[in-house]
Amino acid sequence: TLLVSVRPWAMVRIGDGEPVEVMARRFTLPAGRYRVRIDNDRNDCHLTRTVEVPAGGEAQVTENLIERCGPLEVGEPSADGGN
């Protein structure tokens, strides 16, 4: 299991999967190493993290985009995911 928490929000892609809008979300994944792409296009904030999900356990990615990328617009994403 992978818990992803992003403030204020972002589009998150796990590996080659489809991007999904996330503030906080639990992803059920098999054990392994994953690339987590965090994008907030409205604020031109893009991060990539690598995380190891342990067998039978949980990993976590927590990002505060305000701290990482500076002041952000915190409104809701557009219907097309911020593009």
Cβ atoms of 4 and 48 within 8 Å: the answer is: no
pLDDT digits (tens, 9 = 90+) for 18-76: 999 999 999 999 999 999 999 998 888 999 999 999 999 999 999 999 888 877 665 55
pLDDT at 22: 93
pLDDT at 82: 45
pLDDT at 72: 61
pLDDT at 8: 86
Longest dimension (CA), the chain: 38
pLDDT at 36: 98
pLDDT at 83: 43
Residue showing tokens 């067998």: 55
Cβ atoms of 17 and 10 within 8 Å: the answer is: no
